[in-house]
């Protein structure tokens, strides 16, 4: 596969009370189309900052970001971000209206006119993918945290961006729900043509989900290694190979 997204010498520092903090130092990375890439590293190593630079929400101090060899300087509907917080849905809209919002935005972006019925059908399709069709008329406050994340995931899919940027999206749910959401995401990634860049500090999550893992370190935030994950799907958390890779990554992050 050829390089699709390319990060060249990305860097970012912040002025803090304790002085200048180098959040990211010379990040070079090539991401393939339809790849599931995880950025894994300890708290504060710059994972979220890197994701926000790819999203175009903050600017790198130097270097450049390329997509298909074209310079990217701003945010765009080709890159859709999903956050950890439960409160990212529009609280005043029902579940189906939250999804329809993204369906309409995507159609507008592509200059496509959709009828009300087509919008509803499309929205229900995405809601069905996260198995929440029967909750279409609920408001976000009537849902559990895990269900809100499912709706947020459906809304991200409905925006039909090529690239999904996920910042610890399952970080706030209980461990069983987290495993269910990981399962769902792994399945959706295999069904849809999407490039996913997923941030986590959970090694098992990275091993379960991704095809390639970017290991980062702190002070300053830098890439220390790129690890291929060729474990076949569906991945078994109890398998010897799964746990071998887990231990390899754990050891690497500790040193």
Using CB under 6 A, list all residues that contact ligand ATP. Answer: 14, 16, 21, 23, 41, 43-49, 201, 221
CB closer to ligand ATP, 49 vs 156: 49
Chain centroid to CA 84:
10
State the nearest-atom distance from the C-beta of 201 to ligand ATP, in Å. Answer: 5
User: What DSSP string describes 171-233?
Assistant: TTS-HHHHHHHHHHHHHHHHHS--EEEEEES-HHHHHHH-SEEEEEETTTTEEEEEEE--PPS
Map tokens 């090539």 to a residue: 30
Is the N-terminal amide bond of 76 cis, ω within 30° of 0?
no
CA distance linking residue 44 with residue 52, whole number of Å: 14
Minimum CB distance to ligand ATP, residue 81 (Å): 13
> Of 46 and 161, which CB lies nearer to ligand ATP in the complex structure?
46
* Nearer residue to ligand ATP within complex by CB, 41 or 169: 41
Shortest distance (Å) from residue 76 CB to ligand ATP: 21
CB nearer to ligand ATP: pick between 115 and 254: 254
């Amino acid at each position: 596969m050829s390089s699709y997204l390319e990060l060249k010498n990305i860097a970012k520092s912040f002025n803090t009370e304790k002085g200048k903090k180098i959040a990211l130092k010379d990040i070079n990375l090539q991401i393939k189309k339809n790849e599931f890439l995880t950025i894994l590293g300890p708290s504060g190593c710059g994972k979220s900052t890197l994701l926000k630079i790819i999203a175009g929400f903050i600017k790198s101090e130097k270097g450049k970001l390329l997509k298909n060899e074209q310079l990217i300087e701003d945010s765009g509907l080709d890159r859709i971000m999903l956050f950890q917080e439960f409160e990212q849905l529009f609280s005043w809209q029902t579940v189906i209206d939250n999804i329809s919002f993204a369906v309409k935005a995507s159609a507008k972006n592509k200059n496509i006119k959709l009828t009300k019925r087509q919008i509803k059908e499309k929205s229900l399709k995405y809601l069905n993918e996260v198995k929440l069709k029967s909750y279409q008329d609920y408001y976000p406050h009537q849902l559990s945290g895990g269900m809100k994340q499912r709706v947020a995931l459906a809304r991200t899919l409905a925006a039909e961006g090529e690239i999904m940027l996920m910042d610890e999206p399952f970080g706030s749910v209980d461990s069983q729900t987290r495993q269910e959401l990981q399962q769902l995401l792994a399945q959706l990634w295999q069904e849809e043509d999407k490039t996913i860049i997923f941030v986590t500090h959970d090694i098992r999550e990275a091993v379960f989900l991704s095809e390639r893992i970017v290991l980062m370190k702190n002070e300053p935030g830098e890439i220390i290694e790129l690890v291929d994950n060729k474990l076949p799907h569906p991945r078994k958390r109890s398998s010897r190979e799964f746990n071998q890779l887990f231990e390899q990554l754990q050891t690497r992050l500790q040193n």
